[in-house]
Structure 1
Amino acid sequence: MNLKRVAPLFVLMALVAAAFAFRLDRYLTLEALKDHRALLLVFVESHAFLAAIGFVLAYAAVVALSLPGATIMTLAGGFLFGVPLGATLTVIGATVGATLLFVIARSAFGDLLRQRAGPFLARMAEGFRKDAFSYLLFLRLVPAFPFWAVNLVPALLDMRLAPYVAATALGIIPGTTVYTAFGASLGQVFDAGDDVRLKDVFSPTLIAALVGLGLLSLLPVALRRLRKAPS
């Protein structure tokens, strides 16, 4: 075992354990956002640049550690910064965190899996690599797959870094924009004393639109296979 390759993984696991030991996840709730909103808004207004950097770093940490709170962070981005800036900061933070987890997983497990991969896994990895950008873009666009799992699977299938980063950043923009817009209206919801139900964010029409975008991202794969099919 190459200790240099697995050391970042052990550090990441230790950070995950520490986060749960100190119950940091209790701050990643709508209740916490509601309770601390006045303090947060004052800080953002007084220290806009520092608040933006802190938000990106915090979001990246939540994603890299796979903590259950990315959705709340996205809502908080809209609530604190508005839609354009909040969505931009969220995409940057999520992409940085996902990329960090990807690099660590690929470094720690990539060689081991390649050495022990059977014929089926080898063929699946080869097929994924040929159209990795389109496949990952589909997985990012369609809101049906756990974000942490989509972060890890491409690493285990030996996807290259550049298309991973590009597909991640592009693929999360639509969903991020929707959640950020919803987050921008949270102040009115809090003031009215209404309950916030995350399931209300995505309507059936919007989900259908995202699925349609996901299927569209697979169009290059379908066309390439049609051209290769015997006539």
Structure 2
Amino acid sequence: MADTPTPLWRRLWPVYVILLGLGVALSQGWHEYLTVESLSANAVTLDAMVREHFLVVFASYIVIYAAATTFMVPGSALTIGGGFLFGLALGTPATVIGATLGASILFFASKTSIGAVLRDIAGPFIEKMRAGFAENPVSYMFALRLIPLFPFAAVNIAPGLLGAKYRDYLLTTFFGIIPGTLAYTWIGAAVKGTLLQGGTPDIGSLAANFVPAFIALGAVSLLPVAYKKLFPKKVPA
């Protein structure tokens, strides 16, 4: 007798968890702490908190980022927050470690019974990635990290479902996300630098701190073009 398919409403449990988390955050007003006005008013306080309780805040940020990655919550704002809290030199590795941990959880989860649910999430992209994995898994996974042609969540899930080795997945994830992480972290560090100097977050006052960050972000945006020129046959389809 054929197994009865799992009802769709049960397979969507990750969505329920995410919605629950967002509901709690909104009900508690946590989103208000991410506004420019709130960051401006609390820049000195947050800086002092990081200095006084660095290890706790640093570890908590990594855990939160890992959880956000695991539950496929977009991390750009959180990455900027990492730059705001820790600066460029420490915010970048904190984010890279947190994102890699979360991606690793998804990789191993794809090997379990949860893999069926994850396959449904990444389904539209898996077949598009299959040929690239068959040709050169390491090069392809690294390209996927550098070139954002597919959603970050799908890129986290698909390798495990396509049989990638965890060692290759770990290395390509860790090193492949560094350029993008660096650029967004730089933006957060630029905002913090301006606010701690007593400035206001307008274009004029942020210009001096933001120029390096914008250059970094521009360089990251050009990576797909450069990669296509250097490796025309290995660009994700």
TM score, norm. by length of structure 2: 0.69
Corresponding position of 2:96: 91
Once the two structures are superposed, the pairs formed by residues 210-225 of structure 1 within 5 Å of their partners are 210-212=223-225, 214-215=227-228, 218=231
Q: Residue deviations 1:58-86, cap 9 Å, x none?
A: 11111111123x11121122222121111
CA contact under 8 A between 1:137 and 1:167: conserved in structure 2? yes
CA contact under 8 A between 1:106 and 1:158: conserved in structure 2? no
The Cα RMSD (Å) is 3.8
Corresponding position of 1:193: 201
Give, in whole Å, the separation in 2 of the partners of 1:182 and 1:138: 24
Corresponding position of 1:23: 25
Corresponding position of 1:51: 57
> Which residue, out of 83, 86, 99, partners 1:81?
86
Q: Per the alignment, do residues 27 and 159 of structure 1 end up closer, same or farther by CA in structure 2, a change over 3 Å counting?
A: farther
Instruction: List structure 1 runs of 4+ shifted beyond 3 angstroms.
Output: 9-15, 27-39, 123-127, 200-205, 212-222
Give, in whole Å, the separation in 1 of the partners of 2:174 and 2:222: 18
SS at match of 1:67: coil
1:125 Cα deviation after fit: 3.5
Once the two structures are superposed, the pairs formed by residues 174-193 of structure 1 within 5 Å of their partners are 174-190=179-195, 191-193=199-201
Corresponding position of 1:63: 69
Corresponding position of 1:101: 106
Give, in whole Å, the separation in 2 of the partners of 1:140 and 1:28: 30
CA contact under 8 A between 2:132 and 2:140: conserved in structure 1? no
Letter in 2 for 1:64: T
Gapped runs of 5+ residues in structure 2?
4-10
Give, in whole Å, the separation in 1 of the partners of 2:64 and 2:40: 18
CA contact under 8 A between 2:111 and 2:160: conserved in structure 1? yes
SS at match of 1:106: coil
Question: Number of residues paired by the alignment?
Answer: 207
Gapped runs of 5+ residues in structure 1?
2-8, 223-231
Between 212-221 and 43-52, report the one with greater CA deviation: 212-221
Seq. identity, %: 30
CA contact under 8 A between 1:141 and 1:213: conserved in structure 2? no
Between 167-176 and 204-213, report the one with greater CA deviation: 204-213
1:98 Cα deviation after fit: 1.2
SS at match of 1:154: helix
Q: Per the alignment, do residues 213 and 91 of structure 1 end up closer, same or farther by CA in structure 2, a change over 3 Å counting?
A: farther
TM score, norm. by length of structure 1: 0.71
Between 202-211 and 98-107, report the one with greater CA deviation: 202-211
CA contact under 8 A between 2:87 and 2:189: conserved in structure 1? yes
Letter in 1 for 2:73: L
